[in-house]
């Protein structure tokens, strides 16, 4: 369910467009306008009437002291359309601006992600000496949820706002309070909601009362924020202290054991990240169950959908990721104009770190590089400075994958201790401010006293990745020792990268390989290593520590190669039962709609031989080309019969399971085949939704209608060109797919 891991960062883009336009139109003429670095204070009193989709607001606004109070200079703000604001403070003049002067693309619309939201703009003139004034406004919030393709694993429906009996969701992108510029805010919000409701915002709750037929709640954020959120609905609250922080859970259906699981996890992960990075910056952390499926991380709370919350692995995967966003993204904010660094850093210190603690870091990094290799082509590549938010498998492979590998390489270069000191300094010095990659570079530079500009330049501002080749390996005796000589080439187009490349050399009679790192600054490096025993195997970057484009042979056949291919053919089984034929056809069509590939859907009987110039999906036990799959998977020791297949000890039967197998194309190893088969038509829509989430796997088995995954795995990598066999191993272990390296310590252990 990696698609749930998206933060709400995309919404800032809308405001950036808006403020850029305003700055162009007015900023140069009127330098006393509120600027992005200034802080505006809001004291909001809000009544929500969910049954009518309406809200009533009094907003007492205090402008920054740095603005010279003057009745000659108007300030401009934007507000959700139809709210009809009126000044409550005597002497304040408010003038609605004509729509055609709006310096926004598309007239009065601002694009918020995929949404279109109607806005109105006002000029406000204050009496001399006044910085604080109040506005009263009311109106309806009714925006449809945005549609997504049925199989689009990469986009989450976004909303610009919701106010309905099932819940409320108001964010900066709703423009439910005045936005002057791209300013920062502090706020208090007093909310009156129906008796059965709870509402959550950032910061600390300082009032929670039920009086007569309403609930009154007050949230305060004295720390500077980018947005003001208000979320909630008919919810049951659970809480328990986690040190000085209040852990809270709000569920739509009461479920004490589920709430307790998240309350305990909150304390556990806050403890982990306090120790790793410095103190958590807010008074509470709340899990709020959303009325639609989402995976948003906001400052001091996360908004997750009902299904996501109940998936058993979320509490130890997406949940720590969302908690960590309170340091990265929602503590130190992202200056998104210069690249979103927070997803890569959060993925590295949550997803990757948890895998490190469980011994899965190498597999995780290989899958990360696999996604980049399979999904990102030269025309879809962008530098990290151009990444804003995930919109596709390719942007995710860069903004999350390449970015986390960049932080991993920084750590390898400076060492764990300096890496953590630099991150702590970056956090301390930039908390509640917008920061960019330059600020990260300064933090690492001052801790290490090294000039890291070249490292940042090549990974952050340059698109692409290096590709490595090893050749000309020679072993010669040298006295009692041996000398291994070889040539490394960077074969990517464009200039060389400066790389530190780990090497592992397996020596006769030694349990673990001898390890070193070679530095490569040109496109070709001739190097030699003096070794204490006879080497029999050398592995280049065996633990995937370098961000690089992998060789096809380093990657096992997997669904990434089907979902990421430029050209794809679906072959449906003409001999299958009518309803199965229909189900397979719908599955192929659903994937086709979500993809930007050149796709073709055919019946198996229409073609004689499998084409070799494209990835091929074969559907059905009845498929005419099933023997090609049967032959192809024998190289992995798998026996596929007409009754079923056994994978990692799990028997999958034709009658009871859905089976997914991938294999190299028998006539072109650069291409991949995938075979999907079931006798259960009801399982096909679920497979359509689920398989994009299992894309790095080589084989999968599912049971039931949902269907539920029962086995998954990757084929071993055989014959990687980054592994060179120099001689037969004395203990006959040369057949192993990977060198058996000594284990490494994680960055920090779970307390």
Q: Which residues bind Zn ion (CB under 5 A)?
A: 7, 343, 346
Minimum CB separation from Zn ion for residue 4, in Å? 10
Q: How far apart are the first and last CA of the chain?
A: 26
**7 or 215: whose CB is closer to Zn ion?**
7
DSSP letters spanning 552-586:
GGGS---THHHHT-SEEEEEE-TTS-HHHHHHHHH
Q: Report yes or no: 639 and 659 within 8 Å, Cβ to Cβ.
A: no
Minimum CB separation from Zn ion for residue 343, in Å? 5
**281 or 721: whose CB is closer to Zn ion?**
281
Minimum CB separation from Zn ion for residue 285, in Å? 15
Minimum CB separation from Zn ion for residue 7, in Å? 5
**327 or 544: whose CB is closer to Zn ion?**
327
Q: Report yes or no: 218 and 207 within 8 Å, Cβ to Cβ.
A: yes
Minimum CB separation from Zn ion for residue 5, in Å? 5
Minimum CB separation from Zn ion for residue 9, in Å? 8
Nearest to 514 by CA among 501, 505, 523, 503: 505
Taken in order 645, 567, 687, 113, the sign of the CA dihedral is positive
Minimum CB separation from Zn ion for residue 321, in Å? 6
- Beta strand ranges found along 492-572 (DSSP E): 499-507, 514-520, 524-531, 535-540, 567-572
- Whole-angstrom Cα Rg for the chain: 29
Q: Report yes or no: 456 and 441 within 8 Å, Cβ to Cβ.
A: yes
Q: Nearest 5°: phi and psi at 282?
A: -125, 165
**7 or 155: whose CB is closer to Zn ion?**
7
Token duo for residue 185: 């805010």
Q: What number of residues does the chain have? A: 751
- Three-class HEC string of 640-658: EECCEEEECCEEEECCCEE
**7 or 458: whose CB is closer to Zn ion?**
7
Residues 6+ apart with CB under 8 A from 59: 42, 43, 44, 45, 134, 135, 137, 177, 178
Minimum CB separation from Zn ion for residue 249, in Å? 20
**396 or 683: whose CB is closer to Zn ion?**
396
**328 or 375: whose CB is closer to Zn ion?**
328
Residue 39's beta-bridge partner residues?
184
Q: Residue 320: which region, alpha, beta or left (left: phi > 0; alpha: psi -120 to 50)? A: alpha
Minimum CB separation from Zn ion for residue 305, in Å? 15
Minimum CB separation from Zn ion for residue 650, in Å? 33
Strand order in the sheet with 184-194: 86-87, 132-140, 54-62, 39-49, 184-194, 214-225, 204-211
Q: Nearest 5°: phi and psi at 69?
A: -65, 125
| Residue appearing with tokens 């309406």 | 54
Token duo for residue 695: 């894309």
**319 or 619: whose CB is closer to Zn ion?**
319
**44 or 153: whose CB is closer to Zn ion?**
153
Minimum CB separation from Zn ion for residue 336, in Å? 13
Minimum CB separation from Zn ion for residue 404, in Å? 11
Residue 236's beta-bridge partner residues?
251
Minimum CB separation from Zn ion for residue 586, in Å? 32
**317 or 630: whose CB is closer to Zn ion?**
317
**158 or 343: whose CB is closer to Zn ion?**
343
Which helix (H) or strand (E) covers residue 221, if one does? strand 214-225
**3 or 546: whose CB is closer to Zn ion?**
3
Minimum CB separation from Zn ion for residue 295, in Å? 8
- From the number of C-beta atoms within 10 Å of its C-beta (0-12, 13-18, 19+), residue 567 rates as middle
Distance CA 245, CA 297 (A): 17
**320 or 557: whose CB is closer to Zn ion?**
320
Query: Over the range 397-422, which residues count as b (16 or more CB within 10 Å of their CB) and which as e?
Result: bbbbbbbbbbbbbbbebbeeebbbbb
Q: What are the C-alpha distances in Å from 15 to residues 57, 140, 437, 521?
A: 22, 21, 21, 42
**198 or 343: whose CB is closer to Zn ion?**
343
Distance CA 652, CA 640 (A): 10
Token duo for residue 253: 């259906």
Q: What are the C-alpha distances in Å from 402 to residues 347, 397, 408, 423, 491?
A: 11, 6, 10, 18, 19
Distance CA 387, CA 345 (A): 13
Which helix (H) or strand (E) covers residue 258, if one does? helix 256-277
Distance CA 499, CA 490 (A): 10
Distance CA 691, CA 562 (A): 11
**343 or 622: whose CB is closer to Zn ion?**
343
**18 or 229: whose CB is closer to Zn ion?**
229
Minimum CB separation from Zn ion for residue 346, in Å? 5
**155 or 506: whose CB is closer to Zn ion?**
155
For residue 736, how many other CB atoms are within 10 A of its CB? Answer: 13
**346 or 680: whose CB is closer to Zn ion?**
346
Q: Which pairing describes strands 657-665 and 699-703: parallel, antiparallel, or unpaired?
A: antiparallel
Taken in order 560, 564, 566, 570, the sign of the CA dihedral is positive
Minimum CB separation from Zn ion for residue 311, in Å? 17
Minimum CB separation from Zn ion for residue 64, in Å? 31
Distance CA 676, CA 690 (A): 13
């Amino acid at each position: 369910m990696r698609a749930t891991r998206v933060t709400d960062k995309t919404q800032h883009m809308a405001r950036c467009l808006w403020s850029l336009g305003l700055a162009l139109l007015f900023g140069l003429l009127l330098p006393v306008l509120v600027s992005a670095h200034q802080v505006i204070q809001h004291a909001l009193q809000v009544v929500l009437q969910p049954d009518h989709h309406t809200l009533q607001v009094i907003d007492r606004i205090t402008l920054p002291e740095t603005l010279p109070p003057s009745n000659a200079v108007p300030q401009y703000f934007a507000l959700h359309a139809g709210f009809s604001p009126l000044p409550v403070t005597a002497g304040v003049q408010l003038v609605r601006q004509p729509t055609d002067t709006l310096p926004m693309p598309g007239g009065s619309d601002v694009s918020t992600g995929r949404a279109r939201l109607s806005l109105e703009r006002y000029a406000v003139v204050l009496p001399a000496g006044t910085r604080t004034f109040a506005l009263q406004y009311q109106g309806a919030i009714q925006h449809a949820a945005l549609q997504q393709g049925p199989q689009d694993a990469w986009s989450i429906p976004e909303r610009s706002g919701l106010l309905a009996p099932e819940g409320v969701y108001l964010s900066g992108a709703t423009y439910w309070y005045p936005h002057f510029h791209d300013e920062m805010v502090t706020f208090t919000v007093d909310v009156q909601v129906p008796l059965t409701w709870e509402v959550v915002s950032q910061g600390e709750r300082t009032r929670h009362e039920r009086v007569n037929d309403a609930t009154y709640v007050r949230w305060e954020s004295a720390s500077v924020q980018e947005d003001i959120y208000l979320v909630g609905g008919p919810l049951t609250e659970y809480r328990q202290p986690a040190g000085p922080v209040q852990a809270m859970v709000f569920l739509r259906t009461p479920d004490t054991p589920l709430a307790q699981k998240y309350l305990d996890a909150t304390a556990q992960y806050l403890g982990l990240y306090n120790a790793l990075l410095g103190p958590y910056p807010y008074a509470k952390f709340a899990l709020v169950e959303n009325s639609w499926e989402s995976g948003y991380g906001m400052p001091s709370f996360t908004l997750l959908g009902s299904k996501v919350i109940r998936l058993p692995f979320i509490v130890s995967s997406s949940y720590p990721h969302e908690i960590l966003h309170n340091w990265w993204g929602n503590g130190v904010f992202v200056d998104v104009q210069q690249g979103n660094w927070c997803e890569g850093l959060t993925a590295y210190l949550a997803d990757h770190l948890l895998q490190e603690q469980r011994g899965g870091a190498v597999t995780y990094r290989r899958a990360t590089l696999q996604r980049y290799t399979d999904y990102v082509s030269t025309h879809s590549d962008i530098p990290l400075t151009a990444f804003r938010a995930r919109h596709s498998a390719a942007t995710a492979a860069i903004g999350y994958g390449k970015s986390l590998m960049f932080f991993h390489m920084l750590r390898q270069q400076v060492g764990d201790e300096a890496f953590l000191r630099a991150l702590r300094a970056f956090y301390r010095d930039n908390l509640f401010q917008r920061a960019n990659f330059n600020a990260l570079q300064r933090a690492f530079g001052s801790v290490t006293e090294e000039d890291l500009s070249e490292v940042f330049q090549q990974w952050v501002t340059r698109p692409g990745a290096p590709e490595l080749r090893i050749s000309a390996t020679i072993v010669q005796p040298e006295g009692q020792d041996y000398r291994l000589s070889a040539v490394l080439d960077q074969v990517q187009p464009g200039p060389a990268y400066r790389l530190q490349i780990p090497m592992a050399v397996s020596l006769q009679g030694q349990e673990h390989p001898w390890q070193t790192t070679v530095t490569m600054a040109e496109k070709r490096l001739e190097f030699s290593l003096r070794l204490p025993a006879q080497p029999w195997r050398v592995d280049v970057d065996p633990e995937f520590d370098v961000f690089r484009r992998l060789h096809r042979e380093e990657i096992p056949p997997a669904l990434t190669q089907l979902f990421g291919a430029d050209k794809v053919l679906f072959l449906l089984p003409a001999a299958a039962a009518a309803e199965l034929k229909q189900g397979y056809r719908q599955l192929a069509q659903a994937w086709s709609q979500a993809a930007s590939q050149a796709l073709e859907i055919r019946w198996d009987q229409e073609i004689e031989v499998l084409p070799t110039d494209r990835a091929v999906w074969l559907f059905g036990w009845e498929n005419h080309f099933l023997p090609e799959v049967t032959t192809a998977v024998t190289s992995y020791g798998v026996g596929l019969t007409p009754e079923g297949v056994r994978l990692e000890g799990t028997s999958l039967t034709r009658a009871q399971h859905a089976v997914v197998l991938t294999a190299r194309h028998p006539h072109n190893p650069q291409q991949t085949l995938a075979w999907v088969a079931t006798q259960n038509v009801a399982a096909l829509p679920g497979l359509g939704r689920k398989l994009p989430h299992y894309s790095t796997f080589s084989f999968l088995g599912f049971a039931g209608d949902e269907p539920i995954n029962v086995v998954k795995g990757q084929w071993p990598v055989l014959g990687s060109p980054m592994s060179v066999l120099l001689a037969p191993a004395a203990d006959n272990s040369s057949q192993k797919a990977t060198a058996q390296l000594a284990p490494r310590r994680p960055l920090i252990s779970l307390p």
